[in-house]
Structure 1
């Protein structure tokens, strides 16, 4: 599923899935961005798929990169920064599930609104002939202050062309 990038501890890069790296950047002393680059051949393929998904799917919950910079190592995607926390933030150093625990304690109607937004985005992906093959709590970004849920970026490159069985 497409969407905004993971949010991190300030200044701390993370590798949300093997083959890619993303990190926050502040430009012009005010606007924050998340930059996502490939570090392996698999990561490049994932970012290439992300570019294709963003070209095919438009939905208010799916945050598009503001810039896509094509280079010899593959695309670099620059997303606008969104506050929030990945519900299950896994890194090479361990897993932080505190946001998931907090999300699970929200009132049921609030959780339903968040899940409806994410599932509606998946319908847009499906309408484009794609299937989001990587949907789990590590793909959800939730802004507790604003009560907003968005799919997180790594899932962008995990959409695949849907091919019905023969």
Structure 2
């Protein structure tokens, strides 16, 4: 009955399931799920995420989940890479990143999330706007919005560098962050 239907005749959840079926038809080793729950209500979103999790487990398939929904990321990912202006600025195991973000942009993202438990707190906003890709600032792309900006931030884009086991950050303040995570006193 649905084989002859047009895409606009399906609900958002049905379209997502069809796209997942199409992506899995070739039995891939890796599924790239780019915003798989966008524009879906909470119930359908949960069903789609459960479907992806079940299929991934049954097929022994890896999945890269791309999303702006940090709640979805926190619940469904083992590792997280935070990107800003097309570059990874921090990567870490999910539990570590959400408990203690190091890069100022990652801190801003986590700070903008309302707490689920504990006392209410004022949400923080990241000042400024995302740079125009055609006119990127020199050095770190986040520097014009960063509260911790230093002179070195404008010189060159910092490389993604390890600060602890299984954790990397692209920030000129990475050495300070690494020392704090490892409990090493400043010299």
Give me the TM-score of the superposition, normalised by structure 2.
0.26
Greater helix share, structure number: 2
Larger RCO, structures 1/2 (Cα 8 Å, 6+ apart): 1
Greater strand share, structure number: 1
Give me the TM-score of the superposition, normalised by structure 1.
0.28
